[in-house]
Amino acid sequence: MKRWICPLMALALWGCSAPEGLTEVSIGEPYAAKVDSVLRLMTLDEKIGQLNQYTGNFQATGPVVDDTTKIDQIKRGMVGSMLNIKGVANTRELQEYAMQSRLKIPLLFGLDVIHGMRTIYPIPLGEAASFDLDLMRRTAAGAAREAAAQGVHWTFAPMMDVSRDARWGRVMEGSGEDTWYGSLVAQARVKGFQGDDLADVETVMACAKHFAAYGACIAGKDYNAVDISDLTLHEVYLPPFKAAVDAGVASFMNSFNEINGIPSTGNRHIQRDLLKGAWGFNGLTVSDWGSIGEMIAHGFVPDLKGAAEAAILAGCDMDMESRAYVSNLKALVEEGKVPERYIDDAVRRVLLKKFQLGLFDDPFRYCDLEREARTVLCDSLRALSREAGRKSIVLLKNENNALPLAGFRGRIALIGSLAASKIDMRGFWANEGVIDEMVTVREGFERRFGARSVIYADGYDLETNELKLPEAMRAAAQADVVVVAVGERYFNSGEAKSRADINIPATHQQLVRELKRSGKRVIVLLMGGRPMIFNEMAPAADAILLTWWLGTEAGNAIADVVAGDYNPSGKLPMTFPAHVGQIPIYYNYKSTGRPESKDRGYSCCYQDIDFEPAYPFGYGLSYTTFEIGEPVLAKQTWKRGEDVEVTVRVKNTGRYAGRETVQLYVRDLVASVTRPVKELRGFRQVYLEPGEETEVRFTLGDAELGFHNAALEYVVEPGTFRVMVGPDSKRVKSAEFELL
């Protein structure tokens, strides 16, 4: 017997719907009358202008059209939004041009504020390792404050693409492989950027991107096709976007990829039927850079005019840099191919946002030079960056308590040019972050341990990775402990940065092995923007700290953790594979009829490599140890509708105070469609003094126990469930209960 929670959408997702399938935006008061009063005054040209977005000359992420008439077009009301314009002086200048247009409709300024504006926070994947949702809300709010002070109204963030493929460069921009956790992170970041009210001049509009399934690109190749079942789309890739809608996100961005043969930008089913229809999204959708025009290369439309027609009918409101709308929509309306009410609906969505931001009241309200000066890189935001940095670091290994260097009085050989590189600390896509303002590990160490205690050596050439062994060995010989920074460069992860081989450079691994021969304790700082492989070096390291790219305060945050001023608490938001051939690898896989087994035989294992990852999802050590007890269920049998209660005892059994993230996973053992072997459905963070013990409590309701069935309805089915609790997705203790 099935239990139906909500007959979600009996949508034949990939079937065809008539062009008439327009779900118009529903604007409540006080804006409805205002928006319509402006719309009524607009000519068709002016309406199309509102749907047109051009780039400024900074930070292009696609081909830039050399257009000297942009200013003139703004003055004629033919541009609704600009991206890549920032700084009060610049936004004011362009807004003044917009004020010369007939209707004086203000411009909307958008920018990729991905992990900070001027103050840079950890890359999003790194920050997701903190499992601290409030922290992520606060860093997004901090980024919004600075961006808004610099004239920006709209960030193209957060990225909420679930990814199970570490080869994909853009994993650095998201929150990893887990859909449920990714949905919570998406909501936290949206709330952080937007605050409670878009009219607040310290907030910006957020953008849920990239809609949809961009992270499922074949073989991890950026922009690549996505071939996916409806079930996987609904279970794995769509929920963070739905969560963003529930959190009130102001805008959506299309993804570059096609989904099952239909490019997202021209995909009416996901934009109109699902997003604007079933989910009731009242915000605006923007294409990705040039993604309307790119439908020609996809082979979906013959020319730019066809692309404009497909995109507007599909529900893409704003054209980012394809110039498809501005050059074709008028003819398409006149030829009767695009009903004008499609244009009107898109324009209403744009105008609504401009009203909500207060731009019609005062187009210059984000252009305050004095606020800009006092907000950017202020002490409180720097402190927030340091807090985020510390909490994002993951301790992967700590043999014989090699760390922390608490009370350490000796000399440290700090080796590896990444430890002295400012630009790498900033990470990819770091906006206004000024390179010189980044704190390197070397600076952080010299400040924390004293300049005379730190002996620095390059170890390898930053550009070529060529080993510089003699000086590294000399530094090690003079020191009591070796700290060595290795890994990726900042530009190795990000857009168009997919890699077939995610092993860190062989010379970095060799360096660690050679340094081990010095007989000193070797502590590795592993830097990068994605899961990496480092099997050759791992056994030689006494301790490994994964430090990602942490932003402005990177060096101080790393020094805090190495010195033991902060006890590391990060947990991996993505599985770290042991071999590239294991990818895609993720913890919430499905069981086969012949599950993996150690003796391989007729199982789903590889013959030549192990099936276990190097480090599982949720993994991360602490300087202390925690004992997590068995999950205890208040009773064995539960009725539907009751909240299933699970408690578990946690004790700090080590010598340091510390923070543990207790994780709870669920498996529905028998269901009408097969369920993953486990799925994260709860986590609790506890801070415990040595010897202290506490009880944490989880409640599991419909949202935690259900799934989409074969008809794409969200259901909770009765039967036996297994709950598993532990410090990561691997080391779990379990109990079972019946749901009636």
Amino acid found at 386? R
Could you tell me which residues come within 8 angstroms of residue 145 by beta carbon, excluding any fewer than 6 positions away? 202, 203, 375, 381
* 130/145 Cα distance (integer angstroms): 22
Amino acid found at 421? S
Which residues are registered as beta bridge partners of 662?
684
Tell me the two tokens of residue 486.
């290795």
- Looking at the Cβ atoms of 67 and 630, the one nearer to ligand NOJ is 67
Q: How far is the first Cα of the chain from the last one, in angstroms, to the nearest whole number?
A: 10
The C-alpha angle 112, 116, 118, rounded to 5 degrees, equals 105
Q: Return the H-helix or E-strand segment holding 189.
A: helix 179-194
- Looking at the Cβ atoms of 155 and 661, the one nearer to ligand NOJ is 155
Q: Any idea of the CA torsion for 182, 184, 188, 193, to the nearest 10 degrees?
A: 50
- CB burial of residue 581 (10 Å; 0-12, 13-18, 19+): exposed
Report CA 192 to chain centroid distance, whole Å: 14
Amino acid found at 361? D
- Looking at the Cβ atoms of 286 and 533, the one nearer to ligand NOJ is 286
Nearest distance, CB of residue 348 and ligand NOJ, angstroms: 23
Amino acid found at 350? V
Nearest distance, CB of residue 496 and ligand NOJ, angstroms: 9
Active-site residue, 560 included: no
Nearest distance, CB of residue 184 and ligand NOJ, angstroms: 21
Helix (H, G, I), strand (E, B) or coil at 313: helix
* 612/660 Cα distance (integer angstroms): 24
Q: What is the 3-state secondary structure (H, E, C) of 244-289?
A: HHHCCCCEEEECCCEECCEEHHHCHHHHHHHHHHHCCCCCEEECCC
- Looking at the Cβ atoms of 265 and 569, the one nearer to ligand NOJ is 265
Which DSSP symbol is given to 123? P
Nearest distance, CB of residue 455 and ligand NOJ, angstroms: 42
Are 523 and 542 spatial neighbours (Cβ–Cβ below 8 Å)?
yes
Tell me the two tokens of residue 664.
């709870």
Are 350 and 283 spatial neighbours (Cβ–Cβ below 8 Å)?
no
The residue assigned the tokens 């398409």 is 332
* 399/364 Cα distance (integer angstroms): 57
Amino acid found at 322? S
> Within 10 Å of residue 447's Cβ, how many Cβ atoms?
14
Active-site residue (options: 178, 288, 424, 728):
288
Are 738 and 705 spatial neighbours (Cβ–Cβ below 8 Å)?
no
Q: Residues 155-181, buried b or exposed e (16+ Cβ, 10 A)?
A: bbbbbbbbbbbbbbbbbbbbbbbbbbb
- Looking at the Cβ atoms of 52 and 624, the one nearer to ligand NOJ is 52
* 343/264 Cα distance (integer angstroms): 19
For residue 650, what are the CA distances in angstroms to 626, 631, 664, 696?
7, 11, 13, 7
* 568/544 Cα distance (integer angstroms): 11
Tell me whether the omega of the peptide bond preceding residue 708 falls within 30 degrees of 0, making it cis. no
Q: What residue ranges bind ligand NOJ (CB under 6 A)?
A: 61, 83, 112, 156, 209, 288-289, 495
* 180/729 Cα distance (integer angstroms): 14
* 716/165 Cα distance (integer angstroms): 29
Are 209 and 429 spatial neighbours (Cβ–Cβ below 8 Å)?
no
Nearest distance, CB of residue 290 and ligand NOJ, angstroms: 8
Nearest distance, CB of residue 87 and ligand NOJ, angstroms: 17
- Catalytic residue numbers read 288
